[in-house]
Chain A
């Protein structure tokens, strides 16, 4: 229920199915007769297509290493080595197949059954890569920026390991399929068959390298699950239940609304500080709606706790804990709403998509929590809560409801981040205003006396507003974590959300540590920009002057450039274990076809990685 739209896992499994069929088809071809002009050439071109796609993935995975100066190939982990080696091997396979860009397979005219399946697998993986790429965007300077909350998880080491394993295992499957065609023992091998055979060897080599890395530092099953669950980066369609009282339908409505809310919340958090879409009206609506949503989640958790108390008292305790955090979040949103009522913004009356989705979420969680099929927030406080026997007639139906509540909590957490980010930007741009003491105070601006009912919010207001918004964000995150714990415990589909968030957090911490190894402590913002130490210091002291912050940022960048320059000139800092580290890339002498490999991958920044 968590993913009502296509996920990366769908493309992976389609590719795997196609390759499994290709293996079977190749075996049947071998039993009959390989037709050199058809099976071999078409298989070669189809395999070349697949190899090109797989190499594009490994190129993405190893891209960052190409930007760094040469001579930094020491002390990298087995996984980083495996990624580079797998990429080299795929490039080698491509070179062995010698399919130029002009020599592409014409999908419509393929008559060989194995080639058709190989080509279908390649097409599926192309779509999968497109799905992943849409979670990123590039700046004019070529820097890759996150475009969704999933992007951080995608770039996490664990998910990257999982992806690499999947890619090379698909390559091996393709090699298994093509081996039958390449090794037609009944006849002497043609030149094309020999090339196909060499490519298969390269594909096996890539998989062997990755398996070796996996043996040393295995990928977690959860990371693979997160990889499979990565959705399309599009706003899901709204789901309006056909049967208003069907719990399944209501849960789906909550899940899709929560996913929509998370999507638009990301956009809202990353909006420009000058945007007309920043408005106190939206902040207020989000705060009010999230208060209602958290109240509804509190009721739902309590109802479920009641449902399972006889069967699983431990689970009931977890549900009650989650109910309690939802209640705390409701109170925190109440405080936040008060803060938003104390101030205003230069632009008002704009209702953002995030505010609309927050309202929808309050609506659908209420329909799930209350008996009244027509429930809206305008119903009396005395509305009857849905009995547990109706919410989850069977204990096995508890996970679907937990899935919906957890998704809703995650959405509230994202909306809290969006409000905080917008408020921070609005403060920095002097767009947060307070009502003037005399209501319409007079200001001398540019020699003219102007009557203004508001004035820019001063220090205490700003500090209180931002502190409260931060508290709300933290409490909302704790509520989502409590939901994730329950989801993991009972195997609700949304448990991958919690895992993705944990991986994203690890990734952020890892990036912080890496900058610390350069002696540059850093803080990452929601938009993916890393703050340097001087800018961080100023922001911590409450400085909001944009010019000062810009100067601080320039100084940070200059400092970082200087450090990189030193590393360039004198080499990386030697860690205690650096002497024991193996060279980053083994000499590939003697391995077939390496001349065709991508030699641009020559530099890898020191990236020590904890391994068991």
Chain B
């Protein structure tokens, strides 16, 4: 769950389009790792997050096609160690919080983006973040 908290902090603290995109890409990846890790650890089947995983992957793809995504940093392979069991409520809450931040930051930088390609990528990714948030938040009510 630390990765989700860290990812959210990075998203919140990122400044400028490139940094937000960089943080967003990793945040979507972190969501995928957390969701699959949860099911690998044998938690109760969580339909909302299973559906949310598809949206997270779509969001990551949208960010990947943004022209301003920094090219320099190498993608680090995801950790393959077994995840600790996590309560579904905790996982749902952290994903809801992260996706909410993501959506807000992506829309914010989309408004300031100079190219149509970047703007579209940010808005598409924000839309997928909204989908993730909708599923995760609704499952906690």
Binding site for B on A (CB under 8 A): 280-281, 284-285, 287-289, 291-292, 295, 330, 334, 337-338, 340-341, 344, 348-349, 362, 366, 376-382, 435, 437-441, 451, 453-454
The answer, yes or no, to whether B135 is at the interface (CB within 8 Å) is yes
Chain B residues proximal to chain A, CB less than 8 Å: 25, 32, 36, 39, 43-48, 50-51, 53-54, 57-58, 61-62, 64-65, 67, 69-75, 88, 92, 124, 134-135, 138-141
> Given the complex, which residues of B lie within 8 Å of A377, measured CB to CB?
47-48, 50-51, 135
Query: Are A379 and B57 closer than 8 Å at their CB atoms?
Result: no
Q: Are A288 and B58 in contact (CB under 8 A)?
A: no
Query: Smallest CB-CB separation from B65: which chain A residue?
Result: A453
Once A292-B51, A295-B47, A337-B53 are accepted as A-B contacts, the answer to whether A378 and B124 lie under 8 Å apart by CB is: no
Chain B residues within an 8 Å CB radius of A440: 69-71
Pair A289/B64 contact, Cβ less than 8 Å: no
Query: Do the beta carbons of A382 and B48 come within 8 Å of each other?
Result: no
Task: Tell me whether A381 and B47 are in contact in the complex, defined as CB-CB below 8 angstroms, given that A337-B53, A349-B58 are known contacts.
Answer: yes
Interfacial chain B residues near A287, Cβ < 8 Å: 54
A-B contact pairs, 24 of them (CB 8 A): A287-B54, A288-B53, A295-B45, A337-B50, A337-B54, A348-B58, A349-B124, A366-B47, A376-B138, A377-B47, A377-B51, A377-B135, A378-B138, A379-B139, A380-B140, A380-B141, A382-B88, A435-B75, A438-B71, A438-B74, A438-B75, A439-B73, A441-B71, A453-B65
**Contact A380 B88, CB 8 Å, known A341-B32, A439-B69, A439-B71:** yes
The reply to whether A437 and B75 contact each other, CB–CB distance below 8 Å, is: yes
Give bound CA distance, A488 to B135, whole Å.
Answer: 38
A289 touches B51 (CB 8 A): yes
Q: How far is the CB of B21 from chain A (nearest CB, A)?
A: 10
Q: Tell me how far the C-beta of B37 lies from the nearest C-beta in chain A, rounded to whole angstroms.
A: 11
Minimal beta-carbon separation of A564 from chain B (angstroms): 49
Residue of B25, B32, B71 with most chain A CB atoms under a 10 A cut-off: B71
A281 to B124, CA, bound (A): 13
Binding site of B, secondary structure by majority: helix, strand, loop or mixed?
helix
State whether B58 touches A284 (Cβ < 8 A). Answer: yes
Complex-state Cα separation, A334 to B75, whole angstroms:
24
Q: Is there an interface contact between B61 and A381, defined as CB atoms closer than 8 Å?
A: no
8 Å CB contact of A341 from B57, B70, B135:
B57
For B64, give its contact among A288, A344, A382 (CB under 8 Å).
Answer: A344
Q: Are the C-beta atoms of B72 and A378 separated by less than 8 Å?
A: no
Q: Which 10 A-B pairs have the closest CB atoms?
A: A378-B138, A284-B54, A440-B71, A377-B47, A341-B57, A381-B44, A288-B54, A453-B64, A292-B47, A381-B46
| Chain A residue, CB-CB nearest to B67 | A451
CA distance A349 to B121 in the complex (A): 12
Residues of the A chain whose Cβ atoms lie less than 8 Å from the Cβ of B51: 288-289, 292, 377-378
B46→A437 contact, CB < 8 A: no
Greatest chain B CB density within 10 A among A287, A330, A378, A382 is at A378
Distance (whole angstroms) from the CB of B52 to the closest CB of chain A: 8
Q: Please give, as numbers and ranges, the residues of chain A lying within 8 Å of B61 by CB-CB distance.
A: 280, 344, 348
Tell me the nearest residue of chain A to B32, going by C-beta: A341
Question: Is there an interface contact between A288 and B88, defined as CB atoms closer than 8 Å?
Answer: no
Instruction: For the complex, give the distance between the alpha carbons of A126 and B71 in Å.
Output: 65
Closest to A337 in B: B53
On chain A, the residues within 8 Å of B135 by CB distance are 377-378
Task: Tell me whether B50 and A292 are in contact (CB under 8 A).
Answer: yes
Query: In the complex, what's the smallest C-beta–C-beta distance from A130 to chain B, in angstroms?
Result: 40
Closest Cβ–Cβ distance, residue A281 to chain B (whole Å) = 6
Give the chain B neighbours of A376 by CB distance below 8 A.
Answer: 138
7 additional A-B residue pairs with CB within 8 Å, beyond A280-B57, A348-B61, A440-B71? A284-B53, A334-B36, A378-B51, A379-B47, A381-B45, A437-B74, A439-B64
**Bound Cα distance A109, B61 (Å):** 67
Which residues of chain A are within 8 angstroms of B92 by Cβ–Cβ distance? 380
Chain A residues with CB below 8 A from B32, complex form: 341
Asked if B139 and A378 sit within 8 Å, CB to CB, the answer is yes
